[in-house]
Amino acid sequence: MKSVQKGFTLIELMIVIAIIGILAAIALPAYQDYTVRAKVSEGSVVGSELKVEVMDAFADNGIPGITSLSDRISGDVDDKKTKMLTDKVADVAVDGTTGEITLDLSRINQLGAQHTLAFRPSIDQTALTNDNSRGTVQWSCSNAPGPNGGLPAATDI
């Protein structure tokens, strides 16, 4: 009577383990990149809130309106700045002369030294001034001084 093989041979198990190892080696870096992007998107949400405030201030009073907003944020008037800080966003600032929004994402350890997210407004590719208050405002997004790996897909917002 012949004996029938039951189960897997050692070589078959080793092949399965090797395949799982290869898949894990591919999936883990992609997942880590995904988690960093998700954390950076939290900063992007805070930036979006500030973009609305900068545009309202500019529409109401021009550059002096942005300067006033910048002063309120840097002075933390009515806890304005404190309310924007999260476990990912360590600091926020608005440049009173250009309307540029800067977010410090240094609490995201994976970013290392490249932890600054900046939103820059412009009209017709020119910085905001009281003289060019007509036109569509476009926002560019960057994370100087580093590569754009953690940025949202579109850099013109």
Query: Within its chain, how far is the Cα of 10 from the centroid?
Result: 48
Q: Which amino acid is at 142?
A: S
Looking up tokens 């407004």, which residue turns up? 121
Domain count, the chain: 1
Q: How much is the average pLDDT of 89-108?
A: 91
Model pLDDT, residue 95: 92
Whether 59 is in a domain gets the answer: yes
Model pLDDT, residue 2: 75
For the question of whether the overall pTM of this predicted structure is more than 0.85, the answer is: no
- Per DSSP (E only), the strands in the chain are 91-94, 101-104, 116-123, 126-127, 137-142
* Ranges of H-type helices in 62-156: 63-74, 80-84
CATH number of domain containing 104 = 3.30.700.10
Q: How confident is the model at residue 149 (pLDDT cuts 50, 70, 90)?
A: low
Q: Are the C-beta atoms of residues 126 and 142 closer than 8 Å to each other?
A: no
Whether 130 is in a domain gets the answer: yes
Q: How far apart are CA 51 and CA 121, in angstroms?
A: 9
Whether 65 is in a domain gets the answer: yes
Structural domain boundaries, residue 116: 12-142
Q: How much is the average pLDDT of 15-33?
A: 92
Whether 152 is in a domain gets the answer: no
Is it the case that residue 74 has pLDDT exceeding 90?
no
Whether 2 is in a domain gets the answer: no
Is it the case that residue 51 has pLDDT exceeding 90?
yes
How far are the Cα atoms of 9, 29, 40, 103 from residue 34, in angstroms, in the given order? 37, 9, 10, 20
Q: How far apart are CA 58 and CA 123, in angstroms?
A: 12
Whether 70 is in a domain gets the answer: yes
Q: What is the pLDDT of residues 29-41, one digit of tens each?
A: 888 888 888 888 8
Whether 150 is in a domain gets the answer: no
Q: How far apart are CA 122 and CA 87, in angstroms?
A: 30
- For residue 85, give both structure tokens: 């800080």
Q: How confident is the model at residue 119 (pLDDT cuts 50, 70, 90)?
A: very high
Q: How much is the average pLDDT of 1-19?
A: 84
